Amino acid sequence: MNDYLWDGSGRPEPEIDALERTLAPLRFPPGKHPLQFPRSSRQSIPYAAFAASIVLGLVAWQLFPSNPPQLTAWTLSEDGDAAAVRKVLIGERLKTGESSRLDLESDAFGRIEIQPDSEMRFLESAAGRQRIELKHGRIHAFIWAPPQHFIVDTPSATAVDLGCQYELSVDRLGNGFLTVQNGWVAFQLGDIESFIPAGAACRTSPAGGPGSPFFEDASATFRNALAEFERSGERKMLEQVLAESRPRDGLTLWHLLARLGETERAAVFDRFAQLVPLPAGVVRDNAIARDRATLDLCWNALDLDSTDWWRTWKREWHGRR
């Protein structure tokens, strides 16, 4: 038994040693004590008990914190060093320097590469949900968990994995850029939603939230005009987007249909109808009025995935937020 706390004999426990070193600046010089105890041993007992209670309270605070750190389901290694693997804590800030990176892996969920000059942290790590915050920087995520189980909050949108591989970057102003290599990702801010399939990308900004997704093989003129239109709202930029659109770019036009004013929606729908073969149930006035059933038919005409799939996802996601 270690009697260090009672008579100073033996070696102190590491926690006690650390506590003593922390409190060392408060120690009074020999012969000077803030409390002048009475000489009677009977009277000194309450003072001794009081002092002992303070010491024991400090020790208990060090050994048994009220909110012990919680582990996530992820392990971390730096720059691919398998010899330095450790578990990640919820709330722990993970930062990389200009030339370093961090690798996270979970058998149940996937892999995340945190690229140089980045900062992120885990907000939640439960069986059915992993949620992180990407403050700035860039991550590459390869997620094999079921859809909706991996969520990334950024300053301007939330990225919800739908079973995929993607890269997400955020600058220090909160602007984001997401590219999808496999599967799908949903980008959301309030009622603004973007659905990004493999081969497509999407911008987001604090001012406007998620933009309209676009395929990366679109022409440079199309991509630049879309970026400028989302920034400035200039009609001539929208006209350039429409003029440069291919049938494949119906993905972008469909998202614009749900976001623009009535006059602009009419122009977008007319160009959409020129590029994409529409089913018999699509009525122009209903599409311009943003009738949901009509927009669903337009989406299905893109031959990307049925709206039944992502409508189910949306219902489940909205119920869990």
Burial of 244 (0-12, 13-18, 19+ CB in 10 A): middle
With a cut of 70, say whether residue 48 has pLDDT above it: no
Between 15 and 171, name the one with better pLDDT. 171
Please give the full DSSP string across 238-299, using - where no structure is assigned: HHHHHHH--GGGHHHHHHHHTTS-HHHHHHHHHHHHHHSPPPTT--HHHHHTT-HHHHHHHH
pLDDT in tens, 229-285: 999 999 999 999 999 999 999 999 999 998 999 999 999 999 999 999 999 999 999
d(CA 235, CA 264): 8
Q: Quick: pLDDT tens for 144-203.
A: 988 889 999 999 999 998 878 999 999 999 999 999 999 999 999 988 899 999 999 999
**Contact (Cβ atoms closer than 8 angstroms) between residue 175 and residue 203:** yes
For 99-141, write each residue's pLDDT tens digit.
Answer: 999 999 999 999 999 999 999 999 999 988 999 999 999 999 9
Cα–Cα distance measured from residue 295 to residue 195, given in angstroms and rounded to the nearest whole number: 14
Asked if 225 and 237 count as a contact pair (C-beta separation under 8 A), the reply is yes
Whether the pLDDT of residue 309 is over 50: the answer is: yes
pLDDT at 319: 44
Domain boundaries, the chain: 8-63, 70-211, 218-321
Strand pairing category for 165-170 and 129-143: antiparallel
Tell whether domain 70-211 is in CATH 3.30.70.20.
no
Show the tokens assigned to 180. 């999808």
Q: What is residue 309's DSSP assignment?
A: H
**pLDDT > 90: percent of the chain:** 63
pLDDT at 191: 85
* DSSP letter assigned to residue 227: H
